[in-house]
Structure 1
Amino acid sequence: MMETTTEVRPAAASAAGPTLRFRPDIEGLRAIAVLAVVLCHAGVPGLGGGFIGVDVFFVISGFLITALMMRELAATGGLSLLRFYGRRARRILPTSTLVLVTVVAAGHHWLGFLRGDEIAADGRWAALFAANVNFAAQGVDYLDSQSAPSPLQHFWSLAVEEQFYLAWPALVVLLIWLGLRHTTPAVLGLVVAGSLAWSIWLAGTTWSYFSPATRAWELGAGCLLALVAERLDRIPAGISTALAGAGLGGIVVAALSFDDSTPIPGYAAVLPVLATVLVLAGRGDAVLGVAPLRWIGQISFPLYLWHWPALIIAEQAYGPLSGRTRLALVLLSVALAIVTHLLVETPFRRSPRLQRSHLLTVTMAVLLIAAPLAIYRG
């Protein structure tokens, strides 16, 4: 799902040179997160809590994004919002727009024009990174079975993340401008504490599930860890490995023990969030850094976006699906994710022309956001 480069380095070392440290364990952790979500949605027995993969993604994203921000601050003494949002646009928009347009077209083809127009309306909100607001306003219960869930319902998490990233870098820039950069950890800590308290207060409600105010602490937990990243290398190897092992165990326990009655986010989300922090603070390369998991981690974002509409559209078009059909649809999603990663995601993200030109990036962003809006006929 939501991701950026897995190359990070301690802030204290950033002044020493351009060397970056690759984190294969983070790629593997992404794979665990996306597999938990996909297998949960595919109805695999015993994985009713696989939805916590989204919580894991939030922490990873906060950690990596903030690590990149701190690296830029260390290198330049400032933070360019234009450069930051340009990276996000190149990373997120090509893949998300492709999925949105394809799903709307598939909805019209397999489910009819009335249902297709409803999906297109959801696509408009998703294109504007406001899917969570749309589904919360509809009173959607994400963890409860519904007669006709939207094939674009999973875009809520992408909306929450992008809403967070509208505020977090801007807050850092504001603190720098006010000469209060040193207060960043304290300010972020207050935000995390307030968001966690609010999520516990509202636990079990629709707005609690979809609101950026009740999810900010999950991303913020990863951000806080990134602010002390230079200290992580001081942890002895044995303790570091133990932390990663304990964290991975916590994620597995949450995925196996949670179900649709678990009040999420609320206090229950502390387990997968804290467990993910432990994995990121430690080193899980021996388990998480293996090639198959790293490969799945690389395609985790398009896989997350493709799997849900494939399952939902098929079920709404043909009725209850057999286990074999669900497996075939998951494999189809993997194939779509591979093609998207190779032909769309990577070329746009690594395009030298887009990286050099803010104007081209802005033009690309406007066109890609407008495309799903153009096919909405309501």
Structure 2
Amino acid sequence: MQAPAVQFPKKLYGLDHLRAFAICYVLIYHYRLFGHPDWVPVIGGFGWTGVDLFFVLSGFLISSHLFAELSKTGTISLKTYFIKRSFRILPAYLFIVAVYFLVPAYHEREALSPLWRFLTFTKNFGMDTRVEGTFSHSWSLCVEEQFYLVLPLVLLALAYYKAGKKGLLLLAAIFLGGFAIRWCGWQIIAPYTNTDAFSALFRTYIYYPTYNRLDPLLVGIAVSAFYHYRPAWFAKIGKAVNWLLPLGLLVLIGAYYLNSNETNIKATLFGFPAVAVGYGIMVMAAVHPASILYKYQWAVTEKIAALSYSLYLSHKGLMPLTQRLLALYGFDPNSNITMLICFIVVIAAAVLLHIVVEKPFLRMRDRVLKRKAQSTSDTQQLTAEAV
């Protein structure tokens, strides 16, 4: 693989703006599951797609770092890669898992899945929210962890067999294969379209499994490949890059109507890809130097983006717990003031989780990587002296 001509700046502010939007949209979407003002479902009904935006961002960022390493060294250090991922993901996640198992009052819905499902990141397969709905939003973390595990192995295989150019064909094949897999899932749930069980079955067989939710991750990888390996093409869109934002919005509006009825096979087959393409267009705009999203830093979105992982992990248990406590003092769970207090509590808890758990482990990660780099440097020096 040739070294990419386009180099990452230290900070992509455009992605912070999108990440902040994604977490806010998800919070509003999940708040409608509990007591809420009447306007929340109107604004937040499409908020489930915030997770898809996170997937596009993950696909773009993780593949970009791996592409850069492959271009520079011809290989990927799996040890370094998994050290980075483990220290970034596991500490806060395991802390929240512990809270769910040790504090029953934190449960937002029905019983928890077995602990091994959380520890192996396999909760998203066969999950029935009617009986194990607590911490159900961990399904997306399962998808991402499985993606983090497989992607570097696939890229290493492509590099080993010098088949990098065929990677795009593989990407397209997996993307198109998703339509066939979702069609098979639809055959299982179609007989139940007019029953009360349909919504839960749709989530079990269509919404949660990784093989049905690869579209946004693949789109993120495609945008990253375009960014890195076709810099001349990427540069050519500069004059029209700000038109990508309304274009992406138009695609998402179409996706909104396409997904408005989950009992429709068209939503099952085309709904997720439409959302992925819409957000992928926005990410493409956000990483282009000519884009307004790229140029302007905003401290608010930067802070929200930094807290997004802690917010995502902790919010769904805190919202109903806060509402129950406020109800003891006469607060209406459906009021705007209750919602405001709930969001303040969620943000405060996320800040605490970020400071107490996330940041110390990130500093520990940096120390481990520094020692590893120093050890590698010393070994190379001794080898050179021996030669």
TM-score by length of 2: 0.75
> Please, which runs of 5 or more residues in structure 2 have no aligned partner?
33-39, 187-201, 373-387
Candidates 269, 273, 291, aligned match of 1:270? 273
Render the CA deviation track for 1:257-276: whole Å, top value 9, x for unaligned: 85574766631123321111
Give the alignment partner of residue 336 of structure 1, picking from 331, 349, 354: 349
Which residue of structure 2 lines up, in the alignment, with residue 32 of structure 1? 21
Quote how far apart the aligned CAs of 1:125 are: 1.5
Is residue 159 from structure 1 mapped to residue 155 from structure 2 by the alignment? no
Is 2:247 aligned against 1:243? no
> 2:129 aligned with 1:128, yes or no?
no
1:265/1:355 Cα in 2 relative to 1: closer, same or farther (>3 Å)? Answer: farther
Letter in 2 for 1:277: G
Tell me, yes or no, if the aligned pair for 1:262 and 1:268 is still in contact at 8 Å. no
Matched, 1:90 2:104: no
Q: Is the 8 A contact 2:319 2:346 kept in 1?
A: no
Alpha-carbon offset, residue 132 of structure 1 = 0.6
Distance (whole Å) between structure 2 residues aligned to residue 69 and residue 97 of structure 1: 26
1:249 is displaced (CA, Å) by 5.2
Q: CA deviation at 1:300?
A: 0.9
User: What letter corresponds to residue 38 of structure 1 in structure 2?
Assistant: L
1:208 corresponds to 2:206:
yes
The answer on 1:174 being equivalent to 2:134 is no
| Contact in 2 for aligned 1:151/1:313 (Cα 8 Å) | no
Aligned length: 332
Cα contact 2:4–2:68 (8 A) shared by 1: no
Counterpart AA for 2:27 = V
- Picking from 361, 367, 384, the partner of 1:348 is 361
Query: 2:142 corresponds to which letter in structure 1?
Result: A
1:350 Cα offset (Å): 3.6
Equivalent residue in structure 1 for 2:224, among 223, 226, 238: 226
Is contact 2:216-2:280 (8 Å) kept? no
Tell me, what secondary structure is at the counterpart of 1:22? coil
Compared CA separation, residues 270 and 180, structure 1 to 2 (3 A): closer
Query: Would the aligned equivalents of 1:225 and 1:281 in 2 still touch at CA under 8 Å?
Result: yes
Q: How far apart, CA to CA, are the structure 2 residues paired with 1:309 and 1:22?
A: 32
Q: 1:326 to 1:277 in 2, by over 3 A?
A: same
For 2:133, which of 150, 156, 163 is the aligned residue? 150
**2:59 touches 2:220 (CA, 8 Å); kept in 1?**
yes
> Structure 1: which amino acid aligns with 2:356?
L
* C-alpha distance after superposition, 1:309-354 (max 9, x if no partner): 1134557897993333343222211111122223322332243323
State the SS of the aligned residue for 2:235. Answer: coil
Residue identity over aligned pairs, in percent, reads: 24
Separation of aligned partners in 2, 1:316 and 1:132: 28
Shift of the alpha carbon at 1:149?
A: 5.9
CA distance in 1 between counterparts of 2:298 and 2:253 reads: 18
* Cα offsets for 1:221-272 (capped at 9, x unmatched): 1112111113364134331111023224544775698557476663112332
8 Å contact from structure 1 (residues 52, 254) kept in 2: no
Distance 1:36 1:262 in 2: 24
CA–CA separation in structure 2 for the residues paired with 1:322 and 1:277? 35
Q: Which shows bigger deviation, 268-277 or 68-77?
A: 268-277
Say if 1:312 and 1:251 are closer, same or farther in 2 by CA, change over 3 A. Answer: farther
**1:126–1:156 CA contact under 8 A, matched in 2:** no
Q: Structure 1's 293 and 19: CA in aligned 2 closer, same or farther, altered over 3 A?
A: closer
In the TM superposition, 1:63-82 aligns within 5 A as 63-82=60-79
Aligned partners of 1:196 and 1:217 also within 8 Å: no
Structure 1 Cα separation of the partners of residues 253 and 243 of structure 2: 15
Which of the residues 303, 309, 323 maps onto 1:301? Answer: 309
Using the alignment, how far apart are the partners of 2:353 and 2:268 within structure 1? Answer: 31
* Inter-partner Cα distance in structure 2 for 1:200 and 1:212: 15
* 1:186 and 2:169 matched: yes
SS in 2 for 1:325: helix
Q: What is the CA–CA distance in structure 1 between the aligned matches of 2:305 and 2:257, rounded to whole Å?
A: 21
Q: CA deviation at 1:51?
A: 0.7
In the alignment, the residues of structure 2 paired with residue 305 and residue 154 of structure 1 have an alpha-carbon distance, to the nearest angstrom, of 8
- Work out which of the residue numbers 333, 337, 343 in structure 2 matches 1:321: 333
Deviations 1:258-310 (A, max 9, x none): 55747666311233211111111113544985332222112111111111111
- With over 3 angstroms needed to count, the CA separation of the structure-2 counterparts of 1:42 and 1:255, relative to structure 1, is farther
CA RMSD of aligned residues (A): 3.2
**Equivalent residue for 2:54?**
57
Structure 1 residues 304 and 67: alpha-carbon distance in aligned structure 2, compared to 1, 3 A threshold? same
Whether contact under 8 Å (2:63, 2:221) holds in the other structure is yes
Question: Structure 2 CA distance, aligned partners of 1:80 and 1:234?
Answer: 30
Q: 2:66 & 2:115 partners in 1: Cα distance?
A: 30
Aligned partner of 1:31: which letter?
A
User: What is the deviation of 1:106?
Assistant: 2.3
Question: Matches of 2:141 and 2:93 in 1, distance apart?
Answer: 9
